[in-house]
Amino acid sequence: MNSHVSYRSVLAMLLLGVVIWFLPVPEGLTAPAWHLFAIFITTIIAVILNVASIFNLAIAALAIAILTGTLTPEQAYSGFSAGFILLIVVAFLLARAAINSGLGERIAYLIIRRLGKSTLGLGYSMAITDAIIAPAFPSNTARSGVLFPIIQAIALGGGSRPDDGTERKLGNFLMMNGIAGLTISSALWLTAMAANPAGVGIAEEFGININFSSWLLASVVPSLTALIVVPYVLFKVANPTVKRTPEAPELASAKLQEMGQLTSKEWIMGITFILVVIAWALSETLGIDKTAIAFLGLAVVMFANIFTAEDLKAQGTVLDIWVWFAILYTLSNALNEFGFMPWLGDRIAALLTGFSWPVVYVVLVVSYVLIHYFFVSQTAQMLALYGVFLSVGLTAGVPGPLLALMLLFATTSSPPSRRKAPART
């Protein structure tokens, strides 16, 4: 979060917003739709330029939208009660509980003890661990918080340090592999990254229904293929000078011995984790709400004292995410309801007239990926552009579920400025 605010930059953004606001309303749009666009685009540009924290910018945008009469209070606050946003918040708290229990760390050491005799095996160990714990960790940063200390300990134990010219021995490959593993697991599971459920919520506004099971059905083959291929490719590219790591299983065994037998908290966390994921997968079939399942899981781990009220008080980041996530979703959704997204989609699609839908599909996906380089936040990019790209594609005849899923999968791939990178955690 950007704690330093440049008043000059803030004033420049306000001026930009005022200029856009008073431009003539384009034909086919209502004044409220254009004014909401002025607020939204100014906010997104300010996020891209890092004028202030995304939290500060979001609450300012919300206040302006209400005070100018662009949105009613009921419209503006609707995002705070959206089920998928509450799901993200509760899943973040469940992830904290999993960290508290030590279960994720134990899983990592168990896999390292089995596969970690070689450097490549270590890479697969980390990627597999990431994929296993990802459904209950809707945050790349949270998962890297579990995995990075283990990777760091193994690299340092193997004599590989970033500051003395020995990084190519082991650490370079393990770090690259860790970042790639986070990307793969984020695409594999609907609940592995905060942007995924949010994107599903936006897709639903366009009449496209994606649930936990349909997401997994679409992602499992490419994700598991990447899980098999990527560590090997990175191993060849990074070419670590240390190929064998007999000390890694020994370290894992020592850590497991230090941790002792599975504790009651780990058992409860593990069973809760499995049951929650199964219930999410069957939620459509059983007709039960995914967010209610998450709340029940959180209640269980709180009754078991795995996650306490004191832990809750320390989760300020979750409140931050909930607020700005809800606001940006509300603004994006309102743009669609006001007709701005379809209007913009029609005009962009007109530029693509004459091209078949497969060509339009490829152009949209490639463009979406390249635009990542202008955003430091995957979620901010998704909230800003996902609806626009969907609208353009649907207007051009691209099958909705195909485009909706591919754009969300593309959201997981982005430049190295992302916060998930272990070295930046």
224-268 confidence digits (pLDDT tens): 999 999 999 999 998 888 888 888 888 889 888 988 898 999 999
pLDDT category at 421 given cuts 50, 70, 90 is: very low
Give the up-direction half-sphere exposure of residue 244: CA atoms within 13 A in the CB hemisphere: 1
Q: Are 281 and 215 in contact (CB under 8 A)?
A: no
Residue 73 has pLDDT above 90, yes or no: yes
Which among 29, 120, 93, 106 has a CA at the least distance from the CA of 336?
29
pTM of the model: 0.78
376-389 confidence digits (pLDDT tens): 677 778 888 888 89
Instruction: Quote the Cα angle for 37-329-346, to 5°.
Output: 50
Query: What average pLDDT does the chain have?
Result: 85
Residue 109 corresponds to which amino acid? Y
* pLDDT score of 3: 55
Q: Are 42 and 23 in contact (CB under 8 A)?
A: no
pLDDT category at 2 given cuts 50, 70, 90 is: low
Residue 116 corresponds to which amino acid? G
Share of the chain above pLDDT 70, in %: 94
**In a 10 Å sphere around its CB, with 0-12 CB exposed, 13-18 middle and 19+ buried, how is residue 88 labelled?**
buried
Residue 425 has pLDDT above 60, yes or no: no
* pLDDT score of 376: 63
Instruction: Quote the Cα angle for 197-177-255, to 5°.
Output: 95
Listed by start position, the domains of the chain span 83-307, 339-425
Kindly give, in sequence order, each residue whose CB lies less than 8 Å from that of residue 57, ignoring residues fewer than 6 positions away: 43, 46, 47, 51, 324
Residue 423 has pLDDT above 80, yes or no: no
Which among 135, 136, 128, 134 has a CA at the least distance from the CA of 109?
128
pLDDT category at 155 given cuts 50, 70, 90 is: confident
- Report how far residue 338's alpha carbon sits from residue 114's, in angstroms, rounded to the nearest whole number: 56
What helix, strand, coil percent values describe the chain, rounded to 5? 75, 0, 25
Share of the chain above pLDDT 90, in %: 30
Which tokens hold the place of 187? 């695409």
Helix (H) / strand (E) element for 161: namely: none
State the DSSP code for 24. P
E strands present in 142-210: none
**Residue that wins the pLDDT comparison between 217 and 371:** 217
- Report how far residue 136's alpha carbon sits from residue 274's, in angstroms, rounded to the nearest whole number: 9
**In a 10 Å sphere around its CB, with 0-12 CB exposed, 13-18 middle and 19+ buried, how is residue 366 labelled?**
exposed
Based on its alpha-carbon atoms, the radius of gyration of the chain, rounded to whole angstroms, reads 23
- Report how far residue 132's alpha carbon sits from residue 81's, in angstroms, rounded to the nearest whole number: 30
pLDDT category at 424 given cuts 50, 70, 90 is: very low
Q: b vs e for 110-123, b when ≥16 Cβ sit within 10 Å of the residue's Cβ?
A: bbbbebbbbbbbbb
Q: Are 377 and 54 in contact (CB under 8 A)?
A: yes
Which residues face 244 on adjacent strands? 118
| Dihedral angle sign, alpha carbons of residues 236, 240, 243, 247 | negative
Q: Are 51 and 5 in contact (CB under 8 A)?
A: yes
Helix (H, G, I), strand (E, B) or coil at 244: strand
- Report how far residue 2's alpha carbon sits from residue 243's, in angstroms, rounded to the nearest whole number: 41
309-363 confidence digits (pLDDT tens): 888 888 777 888 888 888 988 998 888 889 888 888 788 878 887 889 999 999 9
- Report how far residue 86's alpha carbon sits from residue 80's, in angstroms, rounded to the nearest whole number: 8
- Report how far residue 253's alpha carbon sits from residue 247's, in angstroms, rounded to the nearest whole number: 10
Dihedral Cα 398, 403, 406, 412, nearest 10 deg: 130
